[in-house]
Chain A
Amino acid sequence: MFSRYRSLAREGVLGLNRRNGDYTLRFNPRRLYPLVDDKLKTKRLALQAGIAVPELYGVIETQHDIRRLPEIVGSHPEFVLKPAHGSAGDGIVVIAGRSGSRYRAINGELFDLEELEYHLSNAISGQFSLGGVPDVVIVEALVRFSSLFEQVSYQGVPDIRVIVFRGIPVMAMVRLPTRASRGKANLHQGAVGAGIDMASGVTLDGVIGSEVVKHHPDTAHPIAGLEIPDWRTILDISARCYDITGLGYIGVDVVLDKHRGPLVLELNARPGLAIQIANRQGLLRRLRICEERANFDAPPAERVEFAQREFRHPVGAVVEPRSRAAS
């Protein structure tokens, strides 16, 4: 047990306690949390900064607004309902089309309007928000994801998660929905996570849970070796998300739209640690490299270059923090 502990420490694996104590508590001031916990605020911030986001159709703020859903959706056959304060993808409904008077979700389930309204009502009452506080629901455009991922995802929208530490993208992965995850790009529901080489944007092998998988379980297509288009842009907008929020340790969720390119879906001030398993590498090691060598005040482009230079796969040895090296 102790050897496992030491081995993880040597590998620079970030544990939940350290993420909380040394990173999120330290670099994410509590007062800035609303910027990312409220997806509507995030969206508006991103728009102001010229960062592309999925088109906003409308917002349902009160139980009364629920009736306006058809009006908000208008002629768009596809749309996404997203509670502004939902966490870990809870409460998100993706509608991919209509079937007569009913709405067809991306996994093929059919909802009539009444069922959707019930879901909206729950969401507004706060069923999906942290602490159950009343919420609003965002109605936005469904991302038409790039055909690149078609062979490695089952229904749903694959997304890219980039961990950004004080403006520097340190680690990234792509999350591929599976049948088990019911079309959601959510790792703990069974989606595949695959690490990405920061320098080139090429995917590595995937993992489900903590098991390595070389092929997508539903499509049997190899996961490694996919080159993610617009990689440099993805890194750029991720890095800029630090500048618009001021949060020092965030996870940026990006989707690739067939027509519009990379769009920021949401930001997360408490990004999970599974990304380490997907990359088969500890986050702490990269965070320490940043703390050691990076110039955090540099403009976004320079920070991205730093990340691409330092975090070329495979990343070098673990850097001891200066304080410990000195003692």
Chain B
Amino acid sequence: MRNRHIFILAAVLTVISVSLVTYKVRVLDYPLLPREQRQVWNIEAAISFDPGPAAVKATLKIPTLTPGFSVLDEYFISRGFGVSTRVTPAGREAEWAVRQASGPQTVYYRAVVYKDPQRIVEDTTPPFPPRPQLDEPSRIAMEGLIAEARRQSADVASFTVQLLRRINQGENDPYVSVFLDRRATPSERAELATMFLAGAQIPARVAHGIALRDKSGRVQTDVLLEVHDGVQWLYFDPVTTQQGLPPDFLIWWRGDERIANLEGGSGLEVTLAVQPNLFDAMMIAERRAKQLGSRSADFSLSTLPITTQTVYSVLLMIPVGALVIVLLRNFVGVKTFGTFMPVLIALAFRETRLLWGLVLFAVIVSLGLLIRFYLEKLRLLLVPRLTCVLTVVVLLMAAISVVSQKLDLQPALSIALFPMVIISMTIERMSIVWEERGASEAIQEGVGSLLVAALAYLVMGMAWLEHLVFVFPELLLLVIALSLLMGRYTGYRLLELRRFRALAREQQA
């Protein structure tokens, strides 16, 4: 009955913890390993122009809906221009304006984008396009083309492929040659396709974008044809007629307009460049969480000041260390001084490193014990005696630090981080056990404590574990669940198997 309660509680905690972690890993893409990096691309548009005598205004279309990619950061760089962004039906635009400028000018748009498979086109289903206004011969040609393409296709996708194939045949096709000449660019062909599709009452638009590769340098824009089949947007390469969005294709802007416009100047030139880069996975995950409106980033520990973060990355490991203690005490049966004293010692080991930590701890405790045995002779009251031991411990620590400084032993300096109050209490406890139960028991418990501390240190020192607990603090719910379950463990401890061996042997005989 009581056990069921515990099982249910543990199960609920486990489910909460695991689902939160899964959400953060799967949806927000939080990294499971420390210092994980993600591929990002710095994209840049440089707009150069010669300003006229009066006010100049340059507009640039900037990435808005980018299926497959997300924008991490963007910057607008110029000298003396006022910058504003606005959202138009075709997408976002940036506008640089200045009342007066002299000499050639260049303004930059820079953005950092990263792959984001969850990002799909979120915009709504477009309305049916108006029929294109054409003169009589063109209209007849278009209708003939549509009729034929429709006959040879089954759905919107195959219809589009048919159209594109005919457009690509260009002047050889009797219908298309009415609209197109031989030198038509892919962009013009795609625009022509949108017109035909509009004639067939199918929403379509031209998407311009760049390919993000592993090489850095200038890039040319490519064109994709986007066709809406009533449910979703389909992508077609207007040249190869291949369907689907290429995985490395970043859609920059849509529509048949040019990427940039200039008012009040001349010689407009736009160059696009890409530079692949690596970026901390943690940062990307948090940006994404913010973009998705998830609360997890708001309540993440990485919103805290850096120094507080460092404290918490240590504090959050303490329950893990405590879990080690539970294992060693309740399942193995190791005796220690104080329940969680080994965890605190293990924390001190973080600074001193294991070997030095063990040596320093042994030295301090043994010297402290000597002093304590001497104080025993003086018959002091308990609290003054503890104060004496504590003071001696502090002095010993200082002395060791000073001596190691002279000897150039760097690690011994960090002895200052030893929990001296805990050490004083340990010395007191140890000396009492020594007196009352004998040296062997005292040394046994002392060694047990050190052993547990060393193990706790090793576990708490695992970088990936520390990262996991810091990024996913909900894992501590799992620690609670585990302790709940272990709290009802009523089986034997490992050392009890030895202790009661006489009772087991009799059974076999």
Contact = CB atoms under 8 A, between A and B. Distances in A.
Interface stretch (B19-27, B280-288, B432-440): B432-440
Given A118-B379, A188-B437, A280 B497 contact: no
Given A125-B381, A207-B502, A7 B508 contact: yes
A126 interface: yes
Interface string B477-509: 000000000011111110011011111101110
Interface in B357-396: 379, 381-383
A280 B502 contact: yes
B503 A280 contact: yes
Given A7-B507, A16-B333, A277-B502, A125 B492 contact: no
B256 interface: no
Contact of A7 (B432, B487, B488, B504): B504
A133 to B, nearest CB: 11
Contact of A90 (B383, B432, B507): B432
Contacts, number: 92
A325 interface: no
Interface stretch (A17-25, A67-75, A100-108, A294-302): A17-25
A9 B503 CA distance: 10
B502 A18 contact: no
A17 B489 contact: yes
A125 B503 contact: no
Contacts of A18: 490-491
B441 interface: yes
A17 B330 contact: yes
Contacts of A188: 437, 441
Nearest to A114: B379
A90 B433 CA distance: 9
Interface residues of B, number: 29
A22 B488 CA distance: 9
Nearest to B488: A21
A5 B331 CA distance: 12
Contact of A16 (B488, B496, B503, B506): B496
B441 A212 contact: no
Given A4-B497, A8-B497, A276 B503 contact: yes
A8 B502 contact: no
B4 to A, nearest CB: 12
B506 A15 contact: no
Contacts of B382: 121-122, 125-127, 132
A1 interface: yes
B500 A276 contact: yes
Given A16-B493, A188-B441, A282 B488 contact: no
Residue with the greatest number of chain A CB neighbours at <10 A, chosen from B333, B504, B506? B504
22 contacts: A4-B501, A8-B503, A11-B503, A11-B506, A13-B500, A13-B503, A13-B504, A16-B496, A17-B491, A22-B490, A90-B436, A114-B379, A122-B381, A125-B383, A126-B382, A127-B382, A128-B432, A188-B441, A276-B500, A277-B499, A277-B500, A277-B502
Given A16-B493, A16-B496, A280-B502, 5 more contacts: A11-B507, A15-B491, A17-B490, A122-B382, A277-B499
Interface of A: 1, 4-5, 7-11, 13, 15-18, 21-22, 63, 90-91, 114-115, 118, 121-122, 125-128, 132, 188-189, 207, 210-212, 273, 276-277, 280-282
